[in-house]
Structure 1
Amino acid sequence: MDRFTDTAWADTATIRRAIDEHPFLLGLRDGTLAEATFLGYLAQDAHYLLGYARALAMCAAQASHPDDLSFWARSAHDAIEVERTLHAGRVLDLDAAPPSPAGTAYVTFLLGAAARGSYPVLAAALLPCFWIYQDTGQRLMDGLDLSGHPYADWIQTYGDPDFAAATARAKDIVDRCASNSSASVVADMHAAFATAARYEWMFWDAAWRGETWPAFGDAKGRATSTATTNEAIEADSHG
């Protein structure tokens, strides 16, 4: 019988191909991605990782096995450390780059899964962030000479063997959850995994487009001008 993770990975092949072929990832791979676009992504990632860490902590609280609790709690801590170390000194004041619609929707989805209280479904929803980043980082590490690469630190973070080990552990937990769950719960796990994978594509696409919330007129009907996230970051980096 196929493992849950094997089936879920195969079922999201089209989504993952779209991620691989996205211009953001292509530019990240060859180093041609505009710095302002990358900084916009990092700002959004900083917001996202705080929400993701909360969802991981809630997953730890729902875990019945002590080893699972320890893993999810450690992962929540690690998410905060990544936000602090990878983003330190590179991102403007986050007030100038509020959470994007895509990032907000992704975090809301994860916290909603946590609030509903199904540990297997929450674990499945959290897995794509581990796995897609690990897969992307590993393939970039294997195929690139990173000397002088402008985004080498990002690639090395997600191509790191320790992150691969954490991803493998998350996959094992999710597979065990699926093997101990009813068919209806497993179906919900697959739906959660696929939705999170779609949000991964949406997150990178939003960073590529410099997505912001729509601007509306004020009480007097005058148009309110809002710079895109990338424009705000570029202005800050030159200011």
Structure 2
Amino acid sequence: MTRTRLGDLTVVGHVRGPAAPDRAVVLVHGVGSSARAYRRLGEHLATRAAVHAVDLPGYGASPRPRHDVDIAAHAAALARYISDHVADAGLPAPVVVGHSMGAQVVGQLLADHPDAAGAAVLVGPTAEPGTRTIARQALRLAADAAGEPPATVGVLLVDAFVRCSVPYYLGQLRHVVDHRLERVLPRARVPVVVVRGEHDPVAPPDWVAALAACAPDGRYRTVRGRHHAMDSDPAGVAGIVLDAGRTAGRGTP
């Protein structure tokens, strides 16, 4: 594992890939989750790139902060991690993949730290207008879990209620509903692909299409599966990530 500190925030990275990689992919999990959400996608990408699946502050193997952490603070800690473990390794700006709340963190990263990513893939972005309450988001996440494979649900439950803890999880949900992804994506200077599982109850198709239209260089793709599309269709999502890598760094003026 690798780790980075920014003040009292720690980001832990779980790294796999070739012995001498020439590019990197950074994977950012959603609320209540951890790097374990990317175990299948990471396997598909690790033959082609250095894969950094991170635990954001308070999640997975990262220690819980003594204070609340909003989306912008997560993005700042992620930017420091990328600087320490991707840029300092001599690799070009990575493709950064965010799932659910992680899509919000990555969107904020693109706006606040424009040199951190060469391209971005946002999977299952949540909290569109009209659904921005903790109750609505919790119900949607529960509805999705009912249709996900048991192995996926087991990992989610342990990560959310044991490793993360209920109080921290609920505080993080508040930041999910307060954040406005549609306001930060217009500031993105790199290609952005917004991805939705075809049966995702958390990220409706109109919302995903609208987010892709917000980015100056945005695209919308659909893959098999539900909210955790990177788990149900890892090959499909990996193909999108690798395609994004081929355009990484193209950017907009």
Does TM, normalized by the shorter one, top 0.5? no
TM-score by length of 1: 0.29
Q: Flag the structure with larger Rg.
A: 1
TM-score, scaled to structure 2 = 0.28
> Which structure: greater helix fraction?
1
Greater RCO (Cα-Cα under 8 Å, separation 6 or more): 1
Structure number with higher strand proportion: 2
